[in-house]
């Protein structure tokens, strides 16, 4: 099993407060792991384990019923706090002076020949600004500010017969 798969399995067990770890042992555990981690279909799982697809479906249903509901508001608040902190840190980096550019095998600091000032690399600052913009976009998505708006459009259609005598149609 991959390390990502192991981490996900531990997270699934931890979501239940450690209880029920026995539920992930044996065939039942294989069914849940194959379904949630390895994304196998119920039919594939049933065929591989030699059980019916109905039994696989029943095990998955029981597992879902025993899984506690996720507190989405708490997750949003945690994400917002993280995005705010990351944005603040990115903007602090953007405010720093650019790093001096060193050249040659001895790492001599490059100076502008006309002004004598140290030449600086501002790519780190630009990257920090991009990161802050991405955090803002993620925050907007999380808060639903970028959600598509609903528009109501109405109109009418008028048909006009040209070149035909309306009496010929009756």
Q: What is the pLDDT of residue 5?
A: 52
Q: What is the pLDDT of residue 10?
A: 55
- The DSSP call for residue 24 is G
Single pTM value for the model: 0.47
The tokens 């705010």 sit on which residue? 84
Measured between its terminal Cα atoms, the distance across the chain in Å is: 77
Q: What is the pLDDT of residue 18?
A: 44
Nearest to 19 by CA among 71, 74, 68, 55: 68
Show me where the domains of the chain are located: 3-66, 72-143
Distances (CA, A) of 7 to 11, 23, 25, 78: 6, 17, 16, 21
* pLDDT by 10s per residue, the chain, length 170: 445 555 555 555 544 444 444 556 788 889 998 998 889 999 999 999 999 999 999 999 988 888 887 788 888 898 899 999 999 999 999 999 999 999 989 899 999 999 999 999 999 999 999 999 999 998 888 888 877 777 788 888 888 767 777 777 77
């Amino acid at each position: 099993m991959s390390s990502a798969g192991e981490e996900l399995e531990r997270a699934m067990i931890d979501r239940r407060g450690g209880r029920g770890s026995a539920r992930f042992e044996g065939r039942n555990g294989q069914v849940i792991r194959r379904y949630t981690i390895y994304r196998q279909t119920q039919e594939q799982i049933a065929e591989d384990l030699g059980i019916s697809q109905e039994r696989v479906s029943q095990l998955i249903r029981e597992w879902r019923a025993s899984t506690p509901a996720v507190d989405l508001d708490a997750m949003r608040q945690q994400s917002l706090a993280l995005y705010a902190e990351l944005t603040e840190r990115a903007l602090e980096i953007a405010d720093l002076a650019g790093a001096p550019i060193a050249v040659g095998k001895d790492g001599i600091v490059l100076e502008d020949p006309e002004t004598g000032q140290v030449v600086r690399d501002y790519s780190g600052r630009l990257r920090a600004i991009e990161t802050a913009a991405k955090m803002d976009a993620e925050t907007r998505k999380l808060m639903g500010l970028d959600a598509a708006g609903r528009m109501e459009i109405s109109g009418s259609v008028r048909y006009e017969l040209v070149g035909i005598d309306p009496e010929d149609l009756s």
